[in-house]
Amino acid sequence: MKRIFNIVLGTLAMLVVALISAFIAMRLAIHGREVAVPNLSGLTIADASQKASALGLSLNLENHFYSADIPPGRVLAQSPAPGETVRRSWAVRITESLGPQQVAIPNVLGQSERTASINVRRLGLDLGIIAHLPSPGEPGIVIAQTPNPNADGAQSPRISLLVSVPEETEAPPANIFVMPSLTGLTLASASARVAPIGMHLFEDVNAFDPSAPFVRIPKSAATIIAQRPAAGHRVFKGEAVHITLNN
């Protein structure tokens, strides 16, 4: 009887040890696939890619912005923020600095959509949102642009256009702008994109209730998954942009 008891006790002990070992192995396997996001700010794109790859992370170049502080070709911003824990193979989104603004914002008001697009690209600038607004007069003419002509301190090399289409008889207000797309951007990138048109970001407390109160957004590494007004809509200077964050 005592022999049987010892056998059962030994079997239970080995079972407990096996379960504990399996639990520890599972924990090590899970956490072994996690890494802390490195600080890529100020690095060249090549160096940032190498540093991320060494930790099993990938790099996703999200956008380009002018910067008076960070030299061109270096990382201006990143998401997730340095020190955050993510799984290996996670894509770290970065924004590349273009250095100080070198190119003057051209005046394409009054030009046809095609001519304006050619002139924007000829200067090495990007074409942003092209929206259309019913307006009297000749259709297909640029009646507003963002940033404004000859604007100083532009944040992005992207120019959005508002083009006339026939239907209404009322002239557009002078302070009308084209709402840029913010979806997928970090807060820093989104703030830089709306700053030239005098708009401010606000986070919806309840994304399912548009009438819910909203509060000023704190700085964080969160990214934007929804926005109001939508990209391409006409907006006015000082108008609030309601956004929904991914955390």
Let me know if residue 188 belongs to a domain.
Answer: yes
Nearest to 118 by CA among 153, 142, 148, 97: 142
Same domain for 78 and 159, yes or no, is no
Same domain for 138 and 75, yes or no, is no
Let me know if residue 65 belongs to a domain.
Answer: yes
Let me know if residue 105 belongs to a domain.
Answer: no
Strand pairing of 240-245 and 142-146? Answer: unpaired
Please report the pLDDT score of residue 173 as a whole number: 58
Let me know if residue 235 belongs to a domain.
Answer: yes
Let me know if residue 174 belongs to a domain.
Answer: yes
Please report the pLDDT score of residue 211 as a whole number: 41
Please report the pLDDT score of residue 109 as a whole number: 92
Same domain for 160 and 56, yes or no, is no
Nearest to 155 by CA among 146, 164, 163: 146
Task: Give the amino acid at 130.
Answer: I
CA dihedral 125, 126, 132, 137 (to 10 degrees): 20
Please report the pLDDT score of residue 206 as a whole number: 44
Same domain for 189 and 216, yes or no, is yes
H or E segment and range at residue 6:
helix 2-32
Domain count, the chain: 3
Same domain for 27 and 48, yes or no, is no
Same domain for 132 and 157, yes or no, is yes
**SS3 at position 45:** helix
User: Which residue range forms the structural domain that includes residue 56?
Assistant: 34-97
Same domain for 119 and 241, yes or no, is yes
Same domain for 136 and 165, yes or no, is yes
Q: How far apart are CA 27 and CA 25, in angstroms?
A: 5
Let me know if residue 42 belongs to a domain.
Answer: yes
Let me know if residue 200 belongs to a domain.
Answer: yes
Please report the pLDDT score of residue 234 as a whole number: 77
Same domain for 28 and 38, yes or no, is no
Q: How far apart are CA 127 and CA 117, in angstroms?
A: 7
Same domain for 164 and 59, yes or no, is no
Same domain for 69 and 183, yes or no, is no
Let me know if residue 106 belongs to a domain.
Answer: no
pLDDT (tens place) for every residue of the chain, 247 residues total: 666 656 666 677 677 666 776 666 555 455 557 889 999 989 999 999 999 999 999 998 888 888 888 899 999 888 888 888 888 888 898 889 988 888 888 999 999 999 999 999 988 888 888 888 887 778 899 988 888 888 777 777 888 899 988 865 455 556 777 788 787 777 777 877 787 777 778 776 444 344 434 344 444 456 787 788 877 777 877 788 888 876 5
Place of tokens 């955390």: 247
Same domain for 13 and 40, yes or no, is no
State both tokens at 227: 């926005």
**SS3 at position 53:** helix
Check which CATH number belongs to the domain holding 59 and give it. Answer: 3.30.10.20
